[in-house]
Structure formats: C-alpha cells, structure tokens
Structure 1
Amino acid sequence: MPTVSVGRDRLLAAIGRTYTQEEFEALCFEFGIELDDVTTEKAIIRKEKHLEDDSEVDEDDEVIYKIEVAANRYDLLCLEGLARALRVFTGTEASPVFQVSSIPRGSMLQMHVKPETSKIRPYIVCAVLRGVTFDEARYNSFIDLQDKLHQNICRKRTLVAIGTHDLDTLQGPFSYEALPPNEINFVPLKQEKSFRADKLMEFYKSDMKLKKFLHIIENSPVYPVIYDSNRTVLSLPPIINGAHSAITLATRNVFIECTATDLTKANIVLNTMVTMFSEYCETKFEVEPVEVIHHDGRKTVYPDLSCYKMDVLLSDILGPIGISQDEKQVVCLLNKMQLQAESHSLKGEARISVSVPPTRSDILHARDLSEDVAIAYGFNNVPKSKPKCMTIGGRQPLNRFSDKIRAEVL
C-alpha cells in the first residue's frame, strides 16, 4: 500500500478545519485510509542520512503525517488529492468539474509521432497547464506526485514515464522520435555539459536514483527522444528530462508528456497529473489539450477528461453490503465519494446512474460502487449478522490418503 507523507499544518489548512491527531485518525478510518505514522521533517532527514542527533539536521520541526492509501487510488497520492477528497467527504465542498479548454484544432499545440517509436515505446499523451502558480510546497508536491506515480501505476517507469517542462522555454510543434543513441545530444537535467545518449547511460550507471531505470532502453538500437521545433531535447524517456525546459518556481505554463508501452495507463497518469494540479491554474480545473498526430495519419486530442456513465441496479449496490437504504440516501453516499449520481427506475426496478470522473479510474464495476457506499455509510454502522451457511474445516480425503502413504514410505 502506498504511503503519502504530507505536512500536518498544510494538510489541515487545505482541508479547511483543525483536527486533533485522534480526530484526524478517526476521519482517515472513516474514509478508508490510515494514518500510519506521525513524525517530523527532522526525524525523516536524520533517518535518511543515518544521523544520531536532531541537532545535526537543519530542517525545522514540522509535523509530518504518513498516510497509507489504497494502491488503486492514484488521486490520493498527493496533498491536493487527499485534501480535496476529504473536503468532499465531509461535505465542505462539492466535487470539482474538470474541463478541457475549447481551442480550435488548428490552434492546438501538436505532437508528431514518428514510426520508429513503435520499436521501443509506442505511445505518447500530452497536456498543458496554463497560468500555474507555484510556491515551494506546491512545487515539491508536484514532483512528489510524479515519483509516486512512477513507483506505482507506472511500474518504475517501464509502463509509463512522465516528463514535465516549462512551456515558455520551448517552441511547438513537438516531435516524438526514436533515434540511434549516438545521434542524440543534449544537456540533461541538473547537468551543465552536453552528453551523447550512449555516453549518458554510462554516466548514470553510478547514479543511485537513475541507474535502476537504464535497463529499460539501454540495449535497444534506438532511444526514444522528444524534440521541439528548434530541435531542443525535452526528454530522453524514461531516463531524464533536458535541462533547457526544467520546471522552476517561476514557471507559469507547464507542458506534460507521458510516454508509454500501455496507452490506458498513460491516460490515467496524465489525467491524474492534470486533475490534481489544475486547481492552481489561472482558470481553475481547466486544462489545455494537445493534438497527437500519429505516424499513420490518425489524430487524437489529449487529455480526455470526460466522465463515463454506469447504470446499476440499486440492489446490486446494496446487496453485497447488507444494508437497507433508499435511492436518495445512496445518491448522497456516492456524492460523498466524489461520484455524481442520480436515481431513476426502469421496468419498476430502482436504478442508480453514476457519473465517474477522470480522477476515479478505480471504479470499474458495481462492486466498486458498493465499496464506496459502504465507506460513506460507515463500516462500523453495517449490522453484524451470522453467515447463512456454516462450514467446518478439515482435511480433504485425498490429503488424508496421501499422508498415510507418506507415513508408510518413511
């Protein structure tokens, strides 16, 4: 289960209410997550650097909450998503509505995909966050979310790799290519000199963080690379971004690209990034699209922030839980979990129509709706009952016979 570390004071400020540690722990339990540990910034640094005394650490004594979340809840992997979910759960605010900017196709930024990319990393999806306002805490959360996604759904960058860039330092249209490593030269992030791609792989074999990703492409005859119209390298996915387009606190327009071997997961990752941080855009919760032009002539616009619909029998939602609620009550419970729902009837049967937002990629089946209703209702409020059938455990006849044979042989 992933653990998210967030500053207590900033988290409570984002939720909009003060909680004691006991109250917050109870709130986490009600929501289906767990307050796993309470520590300080100093203690974390001391542990990472194997120091013996807090006086050796320059960091302050900020209290850090370590919160364990479900592995399929990618929207809870950062403070922004956690605070938003808890605000909706407690009724402080309604679920946000995410929108893609209305831009004519001819005016959109474009990403041209070359056919050679199919040999190594065939998919790319992109989006733009306009008018973003970063401070140090928001910037750190932005970077931390990328790391969390890389470790979880991205499977250590093998399935998806995220690149984020200062759009104002670049010139579109962009191109996604796959070239022999000796033809790729650029200055990588946090470096000052240019490297040829094959030499860069050798350089990073001593890097504790990046060396574990080198195997993904180092034995390939071509490496994936993203250029702008001036042939400036944005990134060498899934290894490193270019220094030229590095994000800073002064960045206002962010270009996000996700290269992948799994298109479904690439879309989930892109949607998670933009829905979490579009709240800091000039137009809140609005994302600018990018047109991806495939090598076969197809054109696709990303991101897709549309909600998808589920229409489920009320009995299919409540049956597995074992509670009795009417349609209005179930709609309210689903709304608490950021799922917009309406009730209706068809052929005399009560049904619930659910609009699943782009943040909830974990909702796939009626059982997922049952789980959310049970969380919102409160597991402690579900009445206890005895199982309808009782069984007594025992060895299978075949196992008993096998044991007797073993005893005779021995």
Structure 2
Amino acid sequence: MTTDSTFRTEMIEARDAPDQRRGVIGWFRANLFNGPINSIVSIVVIYLLARLIWPFLEWAVIDADWIGTTRDACTGQGACWVFISARFESIIYGFYPEAARWRVDIVFALLAILVAWLAVPKLPYKKWVALFALIGLPIIAYFLLVGGSFGLEYVPTRAWGGLMLTLTIAVLGIVGSLPLGIILALGRRSKMPFVKGICVIFIEFWRGVPLITVLFMASVMLPLFVPGNFDFDKLLRALIGIMFFWSAYMAEVIRSGLQAIGKGQTEAGQALGLNYWQRTGLIVLPQALKLVIPGIVNTFIALFKDTSLVLIIGLFDLLAIIRAGLTDSNWLGFSTEGYVFAAAVYWIFCFSMSRYSLYIERRLNTGHKR
C-alpha cells in the first residue's frame, strides 16, 4: 500500500483572522463607527445631512421636469431642467456659428483623449503625448477654433463663449502660468541682483493687484500702449493678464518647494560636475515640484474658478452665458436651476483636478513625509 503524498502529515500554522475592514461595511466600521464618541458624532452628522439632502433631491431629481422646449413644460414643484436642455448648445458653444461647431467638438475630443492618456498610468509614450499636448494641441486648436485658413471659416473670438471659452481660458492660463512661475521662482532665488530685483518687483506687483483690476487694465489700458492700427484681441489681452497674475502666485508656491530642498542636493550635483541648469533641472526642481503639488493644483483650481471674472470685460464664459439666458423673458424665474448647473460644472472640473493631484502625490511619494 503506497502513501499518497498529497495529504499533509503536519498541522497547518495558525492564520490571521479575516480583515473586517474591507468593503463598504468595513470602511464604515473603520472610519465612522470605530468608537463610541465617533459613532455618536457620525450618527448626528448623517441625520443632519439626510434632513438637508433629501429636500434637495426631491427638488432636483424626483419632482423635477426634464423634457420640453419651453417653460410651459415646467409644471411640477421641482426644478425645471428644461431651461438647461433648451439652452444647452449656447451654454457649451456660446455664440459660435452652428455650422462650425464640429471644430469645437474635435478640440474637446482631443483634449479629453490627451487628458485620459496622461491620467491612466499604464499607457505608453506619455512623454510624447505630454509634448504633443503642450505644443501640438494648441496649434491644432488655434487653426480649428479661429479658422481663416485651410478653407475654414474665420470665427472671431467675440463669438466664443460658454464652456468652450471657460476651458480655453483655463487651459491656456494653466499652461502659461506654470512655466512662467517656475522662471520667476528661480529668478527670485538668483544671486544676480538685477535678475532677482526684476522678479521680485514683478511678483509683488501682480500679487498686490486684484484680478478684476488686472482684467480692466488688460482690456482698457493695454491697447493704449500698442500702435493705433494694431488690433489687439480682447481674449488675448485677458489671457495675458490672467497668465501674469497667476504666474506670480505660482512663483511663490514653487519657491516654497525650492526652499524645502536642502543644500546637500545642490552640493551633490556640484560634486558630479553638473552646471547650474543641470542641477536645477535634474535634481532640485523635480523634488521641489513634487513637494508643492497641493499648492500648484490649488492655484490651478483658483484660476479655473476665476475665469468667470472675464464677464466684466465683455467675454461670455459659462456663468455669463447662463446669466444672459436668465434675462430672456421666456425663462424668467429659473435662476436657481442655472446657478446650480453652473456650480455643478465648476465642481466637477475642480474636484477632478483635486483627486488627480492626490493620485500624483501617492505615486510620487518617495519618503519625504514624516
């Protein structure tokens, strides 16, 4: 009789108990009900939130009207989202010609694809995609949105508006303010008095002036310093003002990261024979930017929200288009729906940037936290 080797002849070692913190119930147990005081506070907060959220859900979802083209379709006691659906195209495209809106759709699609490509960690060629996003996409977007070449109809920027204009200002403002802020931060730490003085004056001037004043200066005063026969586009003026304004704040955020890097990093680069730009670009700056990711993203979020201020110089962004629609006599009395929709759009974009920054922080965490 042979012995089957598949049977164990020794006792199995003791194993740890199953982790009860997994899943939804485990998360609640670990975060909301992990003690008597915490449980009581959680129950009170959940009760108060339920009392506040349920009436809002009744108004916004359950009793809301969704289908229709005129205010006559709004017969319920809840929100009238017919106002949003009836004016949805103007909210997205502004005054952009209807026959040319496919060009805006292409730019939106390219932007979404590039953002998704850079956000998903396992996709290849991220450096080339990032380079295309910084150089190629702006060129393609310019020829598509402005037109006037390759047989495309010319569309002046005064016809731009809605979410299209908001994203244009936000994306160009972010892309322009970050590198300029890096240059200003490095210049403020420079040992050359002239360079340092210029950067300090620039930063303190733009940080000491409200953004509304900057937009007024860009819209009213800036044309006074250019030749009379030179047509300086209003949107371009606003973009320059926004870039300069937020680059000053970005410079201080990045400077805080540069100050957090010890001198030993620079000395190690010198010992390797690296010059200033090599030490800064390969050693110091990557570490500094990693440390100030929350501050950088916070500045991006503030920039995105402040795009609504361009209304004061006659540019109709997302919020301005909604406010203009509320002045229509056919839609009087639906301001709540309009502002709630605008708030939801801003929240979605800002929350997405915030969550992505947390993801980047976790990926780049290499031991600086204590």
Higher relative contact order (CA 8 A, sep 6+): 1
Q: Shared fold by TM > 0.5?
A: no
Whose strand proportion is higher, 1 or 2? 1
Task: Point out the structure with max Rg over C-alpha.
Answer: 2
With structure 2 as the length reference, what TM-score do the two structures score? 0.22
